[in-house]
Structures are given as C-alpha cells and as structure tokens.
Amino acid sequence: MDRRAFVAASVSAIGVATVSAGVAAANSRRGEAVRLGGWLEPAAAGPGHYFLFRSADGGGEMVVLPAEARSMRAGQVMLEGRLFRGKFKDATTGQTATAVITGARLV
C-alpha cells in the first residue's frame, strides 16, 4: 500500500468533523502530532499493513499506519503519531476512515 496516496486525501478535506481526545480539528487536518490512549487491534482484512484503534474516551475508529508493524501489539495501548482527518480509503482492502494515524509507535 502506498501510504502517501492514503493520506493525500486529507490535503483537500473540507468540513472535517470535530476530533475526539481533545485534539484540535484544524490542526489535525495538517497532521498534528498526537498521543492517544485506547484499544488497538489488527485489521481483519488485508495483508496486515495497518491496525484499527478506538480511543479511550469513546471516539470513533481510526486507521493506524505503524512506523514498525512488528512492534505493535493488540490490546490497551498508548500511541504516538501524526493524526490526519478527512476521507480516506485503502486501495488494497477498501477500508474507509475519517481519521488516520501515521508513523504510529507505542509509548
């Protein structure tokens, strides 16, 4: 999967929904550095190149593109990465998302 193509849609995102976990929506459109706590699980479909994340405060599901997939683990985690909001679709699996965390790593 080409991560740049996946995230490129965020550049033209208009009408972004408010962001949960206290992140400012305007900044998240540009890829704000964030640290979020919640639950991480491998995506059910696809070759395993991304994960799904739900924030601890009950926010929506986010796609996580890890910096190093082997270091990720399922369960309750604290993640750092860059948050993008908009409309995204993975070309390989067809998974859609309104939030993507790129370069994610566990902290």
Say whether pTM exceeds 0.75. Answer: no
More confident residue, 57 or 89: 89
At residue 13, does pLDDT exceed 60? no
Task: Say which residues have a Cβ less than 8 Å from residue 70's Cβ, sequence separation at least 6.
Answer: none
Q: Cα separation of 99 and 21, whole Å?
A: 12
SS (H, E, C) 23-34: CCHHHHCCCEEE
Provide mean pLDDT across the span 68-97: 91
Kindly indicate the confidence band of residue 107, based on its pLDDT and cuts at 50, 70 and 90. very high
In whole angstroms, how large is the CA radius of gyration of the chain?
Answer: 12
pLDDT tens-digit readout, 20-68: 344 344 445 678 999 999 999 998 877 778 999 998 887 778 999 999 9
